[in-house]
């Protein structure tokens, strides 16, 4: 019984982190309708930034979010302006944005390889190795804090999207670009904002997970697959869905990891993913139609 609770608890912690990883992707996919294959590589960049801020400037990973978020907003604006925007609104948009972001991923991974070599790096903070005990269940301190921050960010985002004017605009654009334009919404501005926010969120996620994951140039590839699975599972543009999807995959991994091998755990997640794609492509919580 205790074992079961332990598995569930670690699964949920992992799931919360997964959910945060996929929020930025979800936003970009849901609003601009493009697949950002470089998503995981921005995560990697966020992790490296955190790593160096910590080792060189002694800045706590959670505090570094405050630096990384605005920096990544800027990066996101530039990338949108010079790479994504020229590709939008054409017959080949769908294919070409996928290919272009894959190329961008190549660029980022190899930039990291050139600058920082392929070594696995990790940081030791005052939370490393520590756990909290709660009713007999051990919770990794790093992951617990990551989980808490993830939930907080998700709530803030939810508030912005549902309660503010700009959030309403974003939702309007995600539902119908033409109608939004007619209502006087500047779609280009909303796209830029969404893309930048998506990139900044994944950068921040990178900062938050750095205390508990290794950093290396291709770390993004692993998380990329995860993030896509969660986004589709939860449903495009649905934040509650993303949260549930993240928790679900976290649980699946946690259980399958104990029962079988990590490869089978992945296979299992992927099969669930395919199943959902086939029978309910709008996701568990989504209400949108098939694209």
Partner 1 sequence: MKQNKSLLILAILTVALLAVYFLPLVIFAKHILILTLFYAFLGTGWNLMCGYAGRLSLGHAAFAAVGAYTSIFLFKEFNLTPWLGMFVGGGLAVLVMLLIAYPSFRFGLKGPYFTLASIAVAEIVHNLLIYGRDFTGGSLGLSLPYVPTSLAMFQFDGKELYYLVILAFWLLAVFLTIKMERTRYYLEAIREDEDAAAALGISVNKNLIAAACISAFLVAVGGTFYGQYFRYIDPYSIAGFSLSLNMALVVVIGGSGTIFGPTIGAFVLIPLTEILRMSLGSQYPGLHLFLYGILLVVCIIYLPKGIASLPGIIRARNDKKARQLDQGSEGVL
* Shortest spacing between CB 211 and partner 1, in angstroms: 26
Q: Which pair of structure tokens corresponds to residue 164? A: 């503010």
Note whether 229 binds partner 1 by CB under 8 A: yes
We find the least distance from the C-beta atom of residue 224 to partner 1, in angstroms, to be: 9
- The contacts of residue 67 (CB under 8 Å, 6+ apart) are 49, 53, 59
Candidates 203, 43, 215, 60; CA nearest to 125 is 60
Interactions with partner 1, residue window 102-141 (CB under 8 A): 102-107, 109-114, 117-118
Q: Are 241 and 233 in contact (CB under 8 A)?
A: yes
Q: Does 270 bind partner 1 (CB under 8 A)?
A: yes
Q: Which is nearer to partner 1, 70 or 86 (CB)?
A: 86
Q: For residue 121, what are the β-bridge partners?
A: 215
Burial class (CB in 10 A: 0-12, 13-18, 19+), 191: buried
Report the C-alpha gap between 177 and 184 in whole angstroms. Answer: 11
Contact 146, 207 (CB under 8 A): no
**By CB under 8 A, is residue 277 in contact with partner 1?**
yes
Query: Would the CA dihedral through 271, 25, 140, 50 be positive or negative?
Result: positive
| Minimum distance, C-beta of residue 143 to partner 1, in the bound complex (Å) | 24
290 binds partner 1 (CB under 8 A): yes
Interface characters, 203-222, with partner 1 (x: CB under 8 A): --------------x---x-
Among 9, 19, 27, 35, binds partner 1 (CB under 8 A): 35
The DSSP 8-state label assigned to residue 81 in this structure reads I
Q: Which is nearer to partner 1, 7 or 83 (CB)?
A: 83
Instruction: Answer yes or no: are the C-beta atoms of 249 and 237 closer than 8 Å.
Output: no
Q: Which stretch binds partner 1 (CB under 8 A): 101-109, 129-137, 164-172, 241-249?
A: 101-109
Structure tokens at 10: 């670690």
Tell the smallest beta-carbon distance from residue 231 to partner 1 (Å): 9
Question: Which residues of this protein are in contact with partner 1, per CB under 8 A?
Answer: 29, 33-35, 83, 86-87, 90, 92, 94-96, 98-100, 102-107, 109-114, 117-118, 217, 221, 225, 228-229, 232, 261, 263-264, 266-267, 270-271, 273-274, 277-279, 281, 290-291
């Amino acid at each position: 019984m205790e074992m079961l609770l332990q598995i569930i608890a670690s699964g949920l912690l992992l799931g919360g982190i997964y959910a945060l990883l996929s929020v930025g992707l979800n936003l970009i996919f849901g609003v601009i309708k493009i697949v950002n294959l470089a998503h995981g590589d921005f995560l990697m960049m966020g992790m490296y930034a955190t790593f160096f801020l910590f080792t060189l400037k002694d800045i706590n990973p959670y505090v570094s979010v405050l630096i990384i978020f605005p920096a990544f907003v800027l990066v996101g604006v530039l990338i949108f302006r010079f790479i994504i925007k020229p590709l939008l609104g054409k017959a080949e948009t769908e294919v070409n944005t996928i290919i272009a972001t894959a190329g961008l991923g190549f660029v980022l991974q190899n930039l990291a390889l050139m600058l920082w070599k392929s070594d696995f790096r990790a940081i030791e903070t005052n939370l490393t190795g520590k756990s909290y005990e709660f009713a007999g269940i051990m919770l990794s301190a790093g992951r617990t804090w990551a989980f808490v921050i993830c939930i907080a960010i998700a709530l803030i985002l939810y508030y912005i999207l549902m309660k503010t004017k700009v959030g309403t605009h974003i939702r309007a654009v995600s539902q119908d670009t033409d109608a939004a334009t007619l209502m006087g919404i500047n779609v280009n501005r909303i796209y830029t904002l969404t893309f930048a926010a998506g990139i900044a969120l994944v950068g921040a996620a990178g900062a938050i997970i750095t205390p508990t994951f290794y950093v290396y140039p291709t770390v993004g590839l692993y998380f990329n697959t995860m993030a896509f699975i969660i986004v589709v599972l939860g449903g495009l543009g649905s934040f509650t869905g993303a949260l549930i999807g993240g928790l679900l995959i976290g649980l699946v991994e946690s259980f399958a990891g104990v029962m079988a091998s990590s490869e089978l755990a992945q296979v299992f997640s992927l099969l669930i993913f395919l199943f959902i794609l086939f029978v309910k492509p709008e996701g568990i919580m989504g209400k949108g139609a098939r694209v």
